[in-house]
Amino acid sequence: MLSYAARRMVYAIPIIIGVALVCFMLVHITPGDPLVAVLPADASQELAQQLRTAYGFDKPLPVQFGLWLWRAVNGDLGSSIATGRPVLAEVLRAVSNTVTLAIAAAIIGFSLGLFFGLVAGYFRDTWIDKIATSIAIAGVSVPHYWLGMVLVIIFSVELNWLPAVGAGPSGSGAWAWDWAHIRFLILPAITTSVIPMGIITRTVRALTGDILSQDFVEALRAKGLRETQVFRHVLKNAAPTALAVMGLQLGYMLGGSILIETVFSWPGSGLLLNSAIFQRDLPLLQGTILVLAMFFVILNLVVDIAQAAIDPRIKRG
Amino acid sequence: MNVRATVAAAMMTTVSALVLPAQAGAESVLRIGMTAADIPRTLGQPDQGFEGNRFTGLTMYDALTMWDLSSADKPSVVIPGLATEWKVDDADKTKWTFKLRPGVTFHDGAPFNADAVVWNVEKVLKQDAPQFDPSQVGVTASRMPTLASARKIDDLTVELTTKEPDSFLPINLTNLFMASPTKWQKLYEAATGADDKAKSQAAWAAFAKDASGTGPWKMSKFTPRERLELVKNEAYWDKARVPKTDKMILLPMPEANARTAALLSGQVDWVEAPAPDALPEIKQRGFKLYANEQPHVWPWQFSRIEGSPWNDIRVRKAANLCIDREGLRDGLLAGLMVPASGTFEKGHPWRGNVTFEIKYDKAAAQKLMQEAGYGPNKKLEVKTQTSASGSGQMQPLPMNEYLQQALAECYFDVKLDVIEWNTLFTNWRRGAKDASANGANATNVTYAAMDPFFALVRFLQSSMAPPVSNNWGFINNPKFDELVKKARQTFDPAERDKALAELHAASVDDAAFLYVAHDVGPRAMSPKVKGVVQPKSWFIDFSPISVE
């Protein structure tokens, strides 16, 4: 097990370098001037050249990549062109807000998804299944930014129960898990949770149905096990795949949603990316994409290891 | 008096005793939802265009000259700020003397004087100065393109030198905000860094978190990307402009529907640019809507290179006469535009005696096109580059489609080349001859018309052709060049304005652009916000505003 985990970690290194290269190239091949945030279109050529040199954009791309990667390895993602603030601090602050949102959304989405999926799978082809499946389809089909706006109109504008935007009465810097802050989290968390809820419902329903139709379940029942005991076996067999799907969904949520965070002005990584894209803030964009990509790499690693730990039948070569 | 009345009176007295003193001492707070995705930079020279200047420039800082924002009707003109008077040297027109306002102090208590002016000029112009900050150079130096240096004459007198004689300098100086050198120096001495440059960067980063200017608002609390809290500066030098509100909270809300929802749910008192389709609801719920003509132009900038169909003045004039701007305003834009009949409208000191009246006259447009050799069976194909969105672009796609339909009636066959906003903006500097124009013979980049350089010179002067500046279409008209020179070298403000008016009138008479619309800077606010005066400007004075 330990050697498997170590091997997976070593495999992650080239993936990380590849991710870094791709994210560097992607932001550099997009059209537009990287200095647009600090250099108006009417600036003189001398000024443009002066700033290009000051920010190091006059160097060849491979040199820029090498310098950036070296600094990134040393924990320095550079400074934002637009604000001058260190990228790492900006990204970490945004990511921590997204993590808060992702955790809340995961609690809602995963519990409801598991519940609906198990119920639908267990009562397959009954009206219970149809209701649960309908909810799942609605979850994956409804555009979440639209749902967010509708929730805001109902619960903020019309009923005035919950705040429409923001991450706390004084911003996310003073975040606390009390009602004054949690009320800011409810609407974005519900909005974020609907897609994972739908996906998990559908996955777990399919898994439960398949497992229930397998011979070993018949054998368990023939042995006289109670239905709750049978169900526990079903759960255990469904867990690795469900876990993999949940891990992936958590990864997506930790990546932040540009649309949801923009709709709710939630100061997470999605809003940060949005801002970096529109301001052509390359160091911020590169840094944010890199950190988010790292999340996926690490999360996949953790899920792979967890799967192997839960299900000894999984043999990794 | 019966028992019930006695009890009620006693309760009223108790409640009054408990509540009223608290209300009397309650802090008044104005909460504003901005369109920016981040708080504009707070260190003196804001980013994010004029929205940045509006919220973190003019609030916390002052410049030597300022915009008069006191009237909603009159054009906003330049008035004395931290300088009380200025004049150009009679013998050498590149040297200006500015007399500084006495008794002004920065928020940290340090005095404002000539040393502070020199220091602030050098923060963006003198590369070997410790306080030189490249990140502030772009947004500042480009807005005062001829300023070269500053020299102290005495504590309250400073001499500014320009690279060439330039009468626009006092207008350009509205963009140079005065930050406290004393405060910065303290932060610089406390900063750590590998070298002086790193220490300087660290000092500016620290300054941005704890800024000090001379403006009517002081920084009180700053959470990057989330909120900026400003409190009133009781010691502001202009007693008439000491804010009437105790605190102002600025919140970035880039999404129009989110801003609107925040306003309607009472989370903020004021939003910039509410969602256009929510305007009827905003009004119906008793919120107030403010809008006024802004120094902004939504145009088509014509290519004038060889072979361009816009080289024919009849075609340029026909296009200008073929657009029903009132229809565009009342229909598509729900009233949120002012029809453009030039860069400046009637009443503006730089408007001039325009002889070509830009209005909707389809018959005249068709006649001009027929004279130019076009008709229903021989349409003129033109191509315009535009974007799907972008700062100041209003609603570029529907507006361009409206133009496309309107111009079709005057024998134009308009093709639209829609590209991403930043690309369009970058192409602006490359010009109509560049491959990036993709064969387009007009570009649709909106522009701010606050000062003469940005409003006129960079488009009309032949030497401003790419890659120097934004004369995208390579306009080369000796009359324009001569009038630009005349305006730049006329130092009496009234005479300078006349020269600029002459230049503007010449450009309209030449139908230099297809002038379509001026934006109106819509903002919506709660009825409890009082004292709002929305001037004809990108800016607004927050000082007279109160929250009941």
DSSP summary character for residue B241: G
Least confident of A101-105, A274-278, B452-456: A274-278
Query: What is the β-pairing status of strands B78-80 and B157-162?
Result: unpaired
Q: In whole angstroms, give the CA distance from residue B365 to residue B408.
A: 11
Q: Which of the four pLDDT bands, split at 50, 70 and 90, describes residue A40?
A: low
Q: In whole angstroms, give the CA distance from residue A156 to residue A165.
A: 9
DSSP secondary structure, B473-503, as one string: T----HHHHHHHHHHHT--SHHHHHHHHHHH
- Work out the angle between the directed axes of helices A179-212 and A144-151 (0-180°, nearest 10): 140
Average pLDDT estimate for A10-31: 82
Residues 6+ apart with CB under 8 A from A266: A97, A98, A101, A165, A166, A167, A188, A260
pLDDT digits (tens, 9 = 90+) for B421-450: 778 887 888 899 999 899 999 999 999 898
Phi/psi at B31 (5° precision): -110, 125
Q: Does the pLDDT of residue A277 top 90, yes or no?
A: no
B267 CB within 8 Å of a chain A CB: yes
- B422 → chain A, closest CA residue: A32
3-class DSSP assignment, residue B16: helix
Interface test with B, best of A39, A53, A83, A257 (most B CBs within 10 A): A83
Region class of B16: left (phi > 0), else alpha (psi between -120 and 50), else beta: alpha
Q: In whole angstroms, give the CA distance from residue A75 to residue A73.
A: 5
- What is the residue whose two structure tokens read 């701007």? B325
Please report, rounded to a whole number, the percentage of residues in chain B having pLDDT higher than 70.
95
pLDDT for residue B140: 82
pLDDT for residue A41: 62
To the nearest whole Å, the CA of B185 is away from the closest chain A CA by 18
pLDDT digits (tens, 9 = 90+) for A189-230: 999 999 999 999 999 999 998 898 889 988 998 998 888 888
Q: Does the pLDDT of residue B323 top 90, yes or no?
A: yes
Tell me the average pLDDT of chain B. 91
B391 CB within 8 Å of a chain A CB: no
Q: Does the pLDDT of residue A35 top 80, yes or no?
A: no
Average pLDDT estimate for B338-355: 95
B443 CB within 8 Å of a chain A CB: no
Cβ atoms of B44 and B177 closer than 8 Å:
yes
Query: Closest by alpha carbon to A242, among A132, A121, A127, A92?
Result: A121
Q: In whole angstroms, give the CA distance from residue B436 to residue B444.
A: 14
Query: Closest by alpha carbon to B448, among B506, B508, B378, B518?
Result: B518
pLDDT for residue B3: 44
114-143 of B, contacting A, C-beta below 8 A: 127, 134-135, 137-139, 141-143
Q: Does the pLDDT of residue B12 top 60, yes or no?
A: no
Q: Does the pLDDT of residue B6 top 50, yes or no?
A: no
Q: In whole angstroms, give the CA distance from residue A49 to residue A57.
A: 9
pLDDT for residue B466: 87
To the nearest whole Å, the CA of B262 is away from the closest chain A CA by 6
Average pLDDT estimate for A32-47: 69
Select from B253, B265, B420 the Cβ nearest to the Cβ of A31.
B420
Average pLDDT estimate for A22-33: 77
- Give the burial class of B462: count Cβ atoms within 10 A of its Cβ; 0-12 exposed, 13-18 middle, 19 or more buried: middle
153-182 of B, contacting A, C-beta below 8 A: none
Least confident of A171-180, B86-95, B366-375: A171-180
DSSP secondary structure, A43-103, as one string: S-HHHHHHHHHHTTTTS-HHHHHHHHHHHHHTT---B-TTT--BHHHHHHHHHHHHHHHHH
CB pairs < 8 Å spanning A and B: 164
Average pLDDT estimate for B60-76: 94
To the nearest whole Å, the CA of A263 is away from the closest chain B CA by 6
Total residues found in chain A within this entry: 317
pLDDT for residue B367: 97
To the nearest whole Å, the CA of A223 is away from the closest chain B CA by 59
Average pLDDT estimate for B244-255: 93
DSSP summary character for residue B101: P
Extended strands (E) in B68-142: 78-80, 83-88, 95-100
508-547 of B, contacting A, C-beta below 8 A: none
3-class DSSP assignment, residue B128: coil
**Cα dist. B78→B51, B85, B114, B170, B331 in Å?**
19, 12, 21, 8, 35
Extended strands (E) in B35-104: 65-67, 78-80, 83-88, 95-100
pLDDT for residue B25: 61
Q: Does the pLDDT of residue B22 top 60, yes or no?
A: no
Region class of B382: left (phi > 0), else alpha (psi between -120 and 50), else beta: beta
To the nearest whole Å, the CA of B507 is away from the closest chain A CA by 20
Select from A33, A43, A262 the Cβ nearest to the Cβ of B254.
A262
pLDDT for residue B13: 44
94-113 of B, contacting A, C-beta below 8 A: none
Q: What residues of chain B lie within 8 A of the CB of A149, using their CB?
A: 257, 261
Give the highest mean pLDDT range of A50-64, B280-294, B383-397: B280-294
pLDDT for residue B473: 96
pLDDT for residue B472: 95
Region class of B103: left (phi > 0), else alpha (psi between -120 and 50), else beta: left
